[in-house]
């Protein structure tokens, strides 16, 4: 007799995902270390940008980022800043993000893109699904489970919205991990066996500071703090405003309402910001409708502009140290995370505050995803020598008489954490009790953030004050609240109806699962073709524009002919279904137009140098 050896069933891979404000990444654990999974274009970062095309398809990542200029009304970015928020609390975001808000945005924002509206969890779900597909392509197996990171300072609604996004994307979210904690895991700082570490994370949209104690493989978060509306976006917005004013006085034209121009200028100020991290000076350049704006920006001026943003990060750092009960002298290491920590002024400020040279060996925009992959391998049981003990960033309270908050779980409590309170009735025969739960550190309900109202229903009619309902508040390992109740006398589980103040109900999430809101996607090849066509659109549009310029007529006859030929050849393959062929023709067109592009660039630079306007 012989037996067939099917081998051991292979453990399903769990990926780690950094769902960022600006960039998202997916990573997995390799034999010895975590690695980033690149997209099909080879870029490890997938920009968190989504375009809803008129035909019902979506562009995600780099193609969508390029479409920001060509399809500004159909493209949305930095949607993480809208997660778990309602219309009333996004005044800041409205100034920053030029999106159209649809009706019924009170508890969940409705983002209008073209003729359709989408909630932030759906947009995030579209990004997550792309990361899932990238991982499946790369690993050659289905991916259905993930660890997703969130800013440590995210509240309950923002966490829930992130979990919903995972579900919408067809992912089972095994755990939400706080971004700074994930970064500490990625650094393998446990190798030092013992010590206190500060993780400073300034990304595109959020700021986090966490203080951890490491001991024998345990990463115990002592305290965390932050600001969920502070990041590189704010620097961009500042520079953008200054540039718009400058242009208005130079051109006598206010471009603020001109979405296309604003997006071009936004791109230009971001480029300048990045350049200033390595250069002492650079130029902000906008070319728009045959006009050209160029302004030199020095690092000194830049530093003066962003100083207030740098300073806004320092108070949460001091508070977190106080909460952790540590002084600067006790901090052994500082870790820098997030693309915005490349700004030299910021590095200096952090170094001065903690009096320690910060770590930045790992790429600051990849380290969180790598840590998420480490946590994924811990959850799937592949690593048993490490353990994360995280905390809840905000105190949990319930509304009491006079609009006051009675705190039941303090901020920085290790999670899971629980508290039990007993409630009763105020009038005879009352059959339900309403509990209003809030998050925040202030004394008054109106100054805290409403989390949900819990309706304890079906209380047997009794004289006032007789029923004794024990309510248990439990913050789980994801930092999300669960509530259960029982009647003390009978010991019976009491039904609790939850009315979240912000966010989607279970049924709404169900209806948003991506397959149900769009036509059946998605053959990988088909998608690549569609993306390549948008790419081709962009290139052809640019070439057509260049052909209107003086430079075009200065080029030799044969060169112009070869450009036209390349353009025609691209048009021929455009409607075919071979994406590589389209790419080849795009590249050929690029090649053919290079001298033309250079001429245009040079003449632009020359005019700029002469200081005259075109």
Question: In this chain, which of 283, 418, 599, 603 binds another protein, going by CB under 8 A?
Answer: 418
CB of 240 to Mg ion, least distance (A): 21
Q: Which residue is nearest to Mg ion (CB)?
A: 203
201 catalytically annotated = yes
Block residue for tokens 């001298």: 595
CB of 149 to Mg ion, least distance (A): 7
Euclidean distance between CA atoms 552 and 365, whole angstroms: 41
361 catalytically annotated = no
Nearest to ligand ATP of 24, 478 (CB atom): 24
Q: Which residues contact 137 (CB under 8 A, 6 or more apart)?
A: 40, 524
CB of 589 to another protein, least distance (A): 51
CB of 208 to ligand ATP, least distance (A): 8
Q: Are 10 and 140 in contact (CB under 8 A)?
A: no
Please provide residue 223's backbone torsions phi and psi, each rounded to the nearest 5 degrees: -160, 155
- Quick check: 203 binds ligand ATP (CB under 6 A)? yes
Q: Are 182 and 379 in contact (CB under 8 A)?
A: no
Question: In this chain, which of 16, 20, 72, 84 binds Mg ion, going by CB under 5 A?
Answer: 20
Question: In this chain, which of 163, 273, 347, 436 binds ligand ATP, going by CB under 6 A?
Answer: 273
Binding at 274: pick from Mg ion, ligand ATP, another protein, none (beta carbon under 5-8 Å per type)? ligand ATP
Binding at 60: pick from Mg ion, another protein, ligand ATP, none (beta carbon under 5-8 Å per type)? none
Tokens encoding 220? 């115990």
Please provide residue 274's backbone torsions phi and psi, each rounded to the nearest 5 degrees: -65, -40
Any bridge partners for residue 37, and if so which? 26
Binding at 414: pick from ligand ATP, another protein, Mg ion, none (beta carbon under 5-8 Å per type)? another protein
Euclidean distance between CA atoms 310 and 106, whole angstroms: 32
558 catalytically annotated = no
Tokens encoding 451? 């989390």
Angle between helices 259-276 and 299-324 (to 10 degrees): 80
CA 602 to chain centre: 38
Task: Convert residues 149-188 into a mask of x (bound to another protein by CB under 8 A) and - (unbound).
Answer: -------------------------xx-------------
- Quick check: 459 binds ligand ATP (CB under 6 A)? no
Binding at 231: pick from ligand ATP, another protein, Mg ion, none (beta carbon under 5-8 Å per type)? ligand ATP
**3-state secondary structure (DSSP) of residue 249:** helix
Euclidean distance between CA atoms 427 and 60, whole angstroms: 56
Euclidean distance between CA atoms 359 and 349, whole angstroms: 14
Closest CA to 132 of 160, 164, 173, 161: 173
Catalytic pick from 156, 201, 333, 399?
201
Question: In this chain, which of 27, 378, 433, 563 binds another protein, going by CB under 8 A?
Answer: 378
Tokens encoding 440? 């925040």
Q: Which residues contact 486 (CB under 8 A, 6 or more apart)?
A: 469, 470, 492, 493, 494
- Quick check: 416 binds another protein (CB under 8 A)? yes
Euclidean distance between CA atoms 614 and 609, whole angstroms: 12
CB of 273 to ligand ATP, least distance (A): 5
- Quick check: 16 binds Mg ion (CB under 5 A)? no
Question: In this chain, which of 16, 17, 21, 306 binds ligand ATP, going by CB under 6 A?
Answer: 21
Question: In this chain, which of 34, 47, 98, 203 binds Mg ion, going by CB under 5 A?
Answer: 203
Q: Which residues bind ligand ATP (CB under 6 A)?
A: 20-23, 80, 179, 203-206, 231-233, 270, 273-274, 277, 338-340, 342-343, 365
Binding residues vs another protein (CB under 8 A): 174-175, 215-216, 218, 220, 375, 378-381, 384, 387-389, 413-419, 474, 476-477
């Amino acid at each position: 007799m012989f037996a067939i050896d099917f081998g051991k069933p292979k453990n399903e891979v769990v990926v780690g995902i950094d769902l960022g404000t600006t960039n998202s990444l997916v990573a997995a654990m390799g034999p010895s270390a975590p690695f980033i999974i690149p997209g099909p274009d080879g870029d490890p970062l997938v920009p968190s940008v989504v375009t809803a095309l008129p035909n019902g398809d979506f562009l995600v990542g780099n193609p969508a980022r390029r479409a920001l200029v060509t399809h500004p009304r159909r493209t949305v970015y930095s949607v993480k800043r809208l997660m778990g928020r309602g219309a009333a609390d996004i005044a800041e975001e409205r100034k920053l993000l030029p999106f159209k808000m649809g009706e019924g945005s009170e508890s969940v924002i409705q983002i209008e893109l073209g003729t359709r509206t989408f909630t932030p969890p759906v947009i995030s779900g579209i990004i997550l699904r792309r990361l899932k597909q990238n991982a499946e392509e790369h690993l050659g197996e289905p991916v259905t489970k993930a660890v997703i990171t969130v800013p440590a300072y995210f509240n309950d609604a923002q966490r829930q919205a992130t979990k919903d996004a995972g579900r919408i994307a067809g992912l089972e979210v095994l755990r939400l991990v706080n971004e700074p904690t994930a970064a500490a895991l990625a650094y393998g700082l446990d190798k030092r066996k013992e010590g206190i570490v500060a993780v400073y994370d300034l990304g595109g949209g959020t700021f986090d500071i966490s203080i951890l104690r490491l001991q024998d493989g345990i990463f115990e978060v002592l305290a965390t703090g932050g600001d969920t509306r502070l990041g590189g976006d704010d620097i961009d917005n500042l520079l953008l405003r200054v540039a718009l004013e400058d242009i208005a006085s130079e051109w006598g034209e206010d471009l603020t309402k001109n979405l296309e121009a604003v997006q071009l200028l936004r791109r230009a100020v971001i480029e300048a910001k990045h350049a200033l991290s390595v250069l002492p000076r650079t130029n902000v350049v906008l070319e728009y409708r045959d006009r050209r704006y160029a302004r030199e920006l020095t690092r000194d001026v830049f530093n003066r502009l962003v100083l207030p943003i740098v300073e806004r990060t320092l108070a949460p750092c001091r508070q977190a140290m106080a909460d952790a009960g540590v002084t600067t002298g006790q901090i052994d290491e500082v870790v820098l995370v997030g693309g915005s920590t490349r700004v030299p002024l910021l590095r200096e400020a952090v170094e001065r505050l903690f009096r320690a040279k910060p770590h930045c060996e790992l790429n600051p925009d990849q380290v969180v995803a790598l840590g998420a992959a480490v946590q994924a391998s811990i959850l799937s049981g592949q690593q048993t020598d490490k353990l994360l003990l995280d905390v809840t960033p905000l105190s949990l309270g319930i509304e009491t008489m006079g609009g006051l908050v009675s705190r039941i779980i303090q901020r920085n409590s290790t999670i899971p954490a629980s508290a039990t309170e007993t409630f009763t009735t105020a009038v005879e025969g009352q059959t339900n009790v309403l509990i209003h739960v809030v998050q925040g550190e202030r004394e008054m309900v109106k100054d805290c953030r409403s989390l949900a109202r819990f309706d304890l229903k079906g209380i047997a009619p009794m004289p006032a004050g007789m029923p004794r309902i024990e309510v248990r508040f439990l913050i789980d390992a994801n930092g999300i609240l669960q509530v259960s109740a029982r009647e003390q006398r009978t010991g019976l589980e009491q039904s609790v109806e939850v009315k979240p103040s912000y966010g989607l109900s279970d049924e709404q999430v169900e209806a948003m699962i991506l397959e149900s809101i769009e036509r059946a996607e998605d053959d990988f090849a088909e998608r690549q073709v569609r993306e390549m066509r948008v790419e081709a659109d962009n290139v052809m549009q640019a070439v057509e524009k260049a052909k209107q310029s003086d430079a075009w007529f200065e080029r030799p006859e044969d060169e112009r002919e070869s450009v036209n030929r390349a353009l025609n050849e691209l048009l021929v393959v455009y409607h075919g279904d071979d994406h590589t062929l389209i790419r080849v023709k795009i590249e050929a067109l690029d090649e053919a137009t290079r001298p033309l592009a250079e001429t245009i660039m040079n003449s632009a630079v020359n005019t700029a140098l002469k200081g005259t306007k075109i």
